[in-house]
Amino acid sequence: MLATSPPTLAFGQDQAPDQAFAPRSGRLSALAIDKSFLANRVLKRVSLSLSPGEVHTLMGENGAGKSTLFRVLAGIHRPDAGTITLDAAPLDLRNPHAAQAQGIYLVPQEPALMGELSVAENMYLGMLPTHGIPARINWRSIRTSAQTALHTLGLDIDVRDDARHLSIAQQQLVECAKALLRGCRIILFDEPTSPLTSREVGFLFGIIRRLRDDGYTLGFISHRMDEVMDISDRISVLRDGAVTDEVDRTGFDRARLVSAMVGRSLSFDRKRIHRAGVGTPALTVRGLTHPTAFRAIDLDVHPGEIVGFAGLIGAGRTEIAEAICGLREKSAGTVMLNGQDITTASIPHIIEAGLVYVPEDRARHGAILPMSIRDNATAGQITRLQRGVGLLDRVREAEIAKQTIARFRVRARGPAQPMRELSGGNQQKIVFGKWMSTNPSVAILDEPTRGVDVGAKEDIYRLIEELSDAGMAIIVISSELEELIALCDRIVAIYAGRITAELRGAEITAASVGAAFLGAGSPPA
Amino acid sequence: MSTTTLDAAPRKRKPRREVREITLLVVTIAIVLGVGLIKPQFMRYDNLEFMVLSAVVLGLIAIGQTFVIMTSGIDLSVSAVMGLSAVVFGLASTTIHLPLAAALPLCLILGAVLGSFNGLLVAWVRIPPIIATLGTYSLFGGLTFIVSNGTQVDQVSNQFAAFGNANLIPGLPIPTPVLALAGVALFAWFVLNHMVFGRNILAVGNNAVAAYNAGIPVKRTLLFVYMIAGALASFGGLVFVAYTGSATATTGTGDHVELQSIAIALIGGTLISGGRGNLAGTVIGSIFLSVVITALVFLHVPAIWYSAGEGLMIVAAVTLGARRGGAG
């Protein structure tokens, strides 16, 4: 589709004649920017320059200030001190609208399309062209030019459709098209790839590269090292609100970037000392089958053992985990937990029996964002905190919350801080702590480090190992090769709903696990 | 250059938008015919006219309410504005013989001023709409008592009564207020679908922060919406006093017109969470509610049951409407 589209994307000028925006590309600079939220100083005299024709990536741990910096550049936050310049001319970015008028557009982490409005109207939000008297909206011209804009990007979306029918990837690209329609030549992407599949990432990167080749100034945030290496022309690393390193393509080096991010060096080639499962399995699954998602799954997990589920997204890994934990129907098979048949047990019963599932999407299934850390940390065992006739033991509750914060090295002001104020990695630690506080004997962790920064990742790995050392049987579902190699005693490859390979001990290498991901492993022994 | 393409999200078939309106209209007609079969008086011209005029009062107020709900707000003060306006202009016609031609613009101005007060509280003082208008409900309702001194206003001038009952177009038995409602509804539809202000209302209701970021004047939009709701509520009060010839301090608030107007908007297909509205549904919903209320009287349902019966019908209509996928 992209091959047939015109070589240039600069359709902002001619197709939206009524717009008040003048397209400008140029060198966007932040000079000694300071920004605090209440007592929290997020940006400390940060200076950064984005140049035309370059993809400039910000890396850094969660909470380092990357998003805040982009939001300052896009006029969402006003800096407390410092200046923003475009080709050396100072800008006054009072609000996002003012920034857009200067050609600066931020594609937000969560696309902010209005679900009940059409795609076309979303694209023209705030600049609907009118004609005649009384000033009637020119719907026909809006639809035509919106449709053309999307086609130019290679998107097959009906602009008359309500925006709520779009996938997240499509919404992001519509945001991108909005930037182009407004004639913006400086586009900032705040972690656009985290909700996307690898195919969608490839599509987005294709567009970003075209924009770069057309001389756009591009900013990008991502946690995924491979992606960053792939798309960036320049990388700046932020730590605790200050730039700690800036490198161009010649200086791309994982170890260097990671140490700039966390301020200490981490070994990327950590590898677990493999333990063979001994004794009676804590979890035994036999012949587990689902009408469509998977079939004939046999699995044993021993106390103290970490078993990895390797496979592509959609291979059935999450579905199998959910079926084991009673969250999904199954048409055949048995699940035994410590000798007890829990195949048809209720969910509270399964949790009580000692099996927990920590889901992948913490915003949807794990964390209650408006509530405090304390409420989240104790949500898994609230019934155990009762005193007398249903009174809550507030003292004990606060203790548990404090313990969770300390044990999981959560960066927070205290137990009363709302979850939503924490960074992704810290939220994940709390969710983790919530489930582990019930002392399960078997835990299934679905993508335990998704959207988590490098430092927090290391904490979570250490924690998983501690739990395993204490005798917990653990299943880790992960799409990251490195993670599986670093953590697991045994790796089960799942492909198209079946177990296609099992690797243990010395068999676990990057090559063998990589092959297992693609379903190319040997059949299980 | 990438050769990948993007999967389209699974397309759901869009439910035909007119289904809700047609269903509601058919049910309303069925009730009219059904009750008419049992009680032939129900079908007499004067009763039909009464139902239609009640629907006009409800409809004018509910259109304003629909606009407010579309911004994801709510206006509980509309019934008090209606009552205050009915009493003020009823009194003005009996005491100082205010001519109708002057009463009409004055009533719109009064309503707009009262509504703007709501708008200021919501948009600038940032009080949640339900709390702000709960306060002004009591405030405006209290003013009605002060103005009327607690007594009933009647003997409104013939000129007023003429507006309530006369037919503007000779030979066509369409009461003038019906034409007024039709005009207001059409204009509201045009504003909502073809003017930037209307689209701004929906944008604010969808996501006020994103609307602000896109350069939409959120505060001004809210102010105008509450102003319009006030003006239409006041207009409703004027129509009420014109065709009934009387008003009291509890006109509007006594019948919980504020709740009725909200129910009508929801029955008509407007989302309570804002961002989407259905004006045709609101107009038909007004007729539906007016018919239901009258039918309960004609069917000799004991008076103590009216309120419960009306509530039951509202719950049924909203539930069935939600089932139709209208709220999805």
Question: Which residue ranges make up each domain of chain B?
Answer: 44-327
Q: What is the pLDDT of residue B326?
A: 44
| pLDDT tens-digit series, residues A164-192 | 888 888 898 999 999 999 889 999 999 88
What pLDDT does residue B21 have?
86
Six token digits for residue A101: 């008028």
Reply yes or no on whether the pLDDT at A415 is more than 90. no
Chain B CB contacts of A209 under 8 Å are 1-2
How many other CB atoms are there within 10 angstroms of residue A352's CB atom? 13
Residues of chain A positioned with their CB less than 8 A from the CB of B4: 199, 202-203, 206
| Per-residue confidence (pLDDT) for residue B168, from 0 to 100 | 67
B47 pLDDT more than 80: yes
Torsion angle, CA of A401/A404/A406/A411, rounded to 10 degrees?
Answer: -80
Cβ-nearest to B206 among A95, A115, A202: A115
- Residue B67 contacts residue B225 (beta carbons within 8 Å): yes
Q: What is the pTM of this model?
A: 0.74
Query: A432 with A39: CB under 8 angstroms?
Result: no
Alpha-carbon span A43 to A268, nearest angstrom: 29
Domain at B44-327: CATH architecture: Orthogonal Bundle (1.10)
Phi, psi of A401 (to 5 degrees): -60, -45
A-chain residues near B202 (CB < 8 A): 114, 116-117
* A14-18, A219-223, A501-505: least confidently modelled range: A14-18
**DSSP letter (8 states) at residue A524:** P
Whether the bond between A134 and the residue before it is cis, its omega within 30 degrees of 0, is yes
A499 close to A523: Cβ distance less than 8 angstroms: no
* pLDDT band, residue A336 (cuts 50/70/90): very high
Predicted confidence at residue A454, as pLDDT, reads: 72
Q: Is A96's CB within 8 Å of B214's CB?
A: yes
* Token pair for A60: 């850094």
The answer to which of A247-251, A317-321, A429-433, B28-32 has the lowest mean pLDDT is A429-433
Cα torsion for A144, A149, A150, A154, to the nearest 10°? 130
Residue from B4, B186, B278 whose CB has the most chain A CBs within 10 Å, to mutate: B4
**A365 close contact with B: CB closer than 8 A:** no
Among A117, A136, A170, beta carbon nearest to B206: A117
In this structure, are residues A237 and A260 in contact, taking their beta carbons and an 8 Å threshold? yes
Spell out where A124-165 has E strands: 130-131, 136-137
Helix (H, G, I), strand (E, B) or coil at A125: coil
Chain B nearest CA to A3, separation (Å): 8
Average pLDDT over residues B46-65: 94
**Interface contact B12, partner A, CB < 8 A:** yes
Which of the four pLDDT bands, split at 50, 70 and 90, describes residue A1? very low
Report the amino acid identity of residue A330. Answer: K
Q: Does position A372 have pLDDT exceeding 70, yes or no? A: yes
Chain B positions touching A126 (Cβ under 8 A) are: 203, 211, 214-216
| Cβ–Cβ under 8 Å, residues A508 and A488 | yes
pLDDT score, position A366: 67
Angle at B16 between CA B14 and CA B21, to 5 degrees: 140
Which residue among B205, B206, B215 places its CB closest to the CB of A97?
B215
Q: Please determine, for residue A59, whether its predicted confidence score (pLDDT) is greater than 60.
A: yes
b/e map of A240-261 (b: 16 or more CB within 10 Å)? ebebbbebeeeebeeeebbbbb
CA separation for the pair A492, A299 (Å, rounded):
9
Among the residues of A11-107, which ranges form H helices?
12-15, 66-73, 96-101
The answer to whether B209 and B218 are in contact (CB under 8 A) is no
Residue A98 has pLDDT above 50, yes or no: yes
Residue type, A343: T
| CB < 8 Å from B in window 141-160 of A | 154-157
**Could you give the strand order of the β-sheet that contains A217-221, starting from the edge strand earlier in sequence?**
A104-107, A186-189, A217-221, A54-59, A234-239, A242-248
List pLDDT tens digits, range A279-304.
889 999 999 999 888 889 999 999 99
Contact list, A206 vs chain B (CB under 8 Å): 1-2, 4
Q: Choose the closest CB to B6 out of A126, A200, A210.
A: A200
Determine the pLDDT at residue B230: 98
Pull the structure tokens for residue B62: 């509910």
Q: Which residues of A touch B211 (CB under 8 A)?
A: 114, 125-126
What percent of chain A is modeled with pLDDT above 70? 87
**What's the order of all strands across the beta sheet hosting A306-310?**
A355-358, A442-446, A473-477, A306-310, A490-495, A498-504
Measured CA to CA in angstroms, residue B177 lies from A189, B29, B218 at distances of 55, 21, 33
Residue A35 three-state SS: strand
Nearest to A59 by CA among A221, A177, A196, A168: A221
Q: Which of A125, A130, A137 sits opposite B214 (nearest CB)?
A: A125
Q: Is A279 left (phi over 0), alpha (psi -120 to 50) or beta?
A: left
pLDDT at position B8 is 53
- For an interface test with B, the pick among A125, A142, A152 (most B C-beta atoms closer than 10 Å) comes out as A125
A-B Cβ pairs (cutoff 8 Å, strict): 108
CB A205 within 8 A of CB A28: no
Least CB–CB distance from A2: residue in B1, B210, B213 = B1
- Tally the C-alpha atoms within 13 A of residue B37's C-alpha that lie toward its C-beta: 5
What is the DSSP secondary structure assignment for residue B327, as one 8-state letter? T
Percent of chain B having pLDDT more than 70? 91
Rounded to a whole number of angstroms, the distance from the CA of A104 to the nearest CA of chain B is 12
| CA–CA dist B260, B28 (Å, integer) | 16
Average pLDDT over residues B52-60: 95
A96 touches B: beta carbon within 8 Å = yes
C-beta separation of A380 from A434 below 8 A: yes
| H helical segments located in B45-170 | 45-70, 78-95, 100-123, 129-148, 158-165
Q: What is the per-residue pLDDT across A435-447, written as a single tens digit (0 to 9) for each?
A: 877 788 999 998 8
CA dist., res. A336 & res. A351, Å (int):
13
pLDDT tens-place string over residues B117-159: 999 999 999 999 999 999 999 999 999 999 998 888 887 877 7
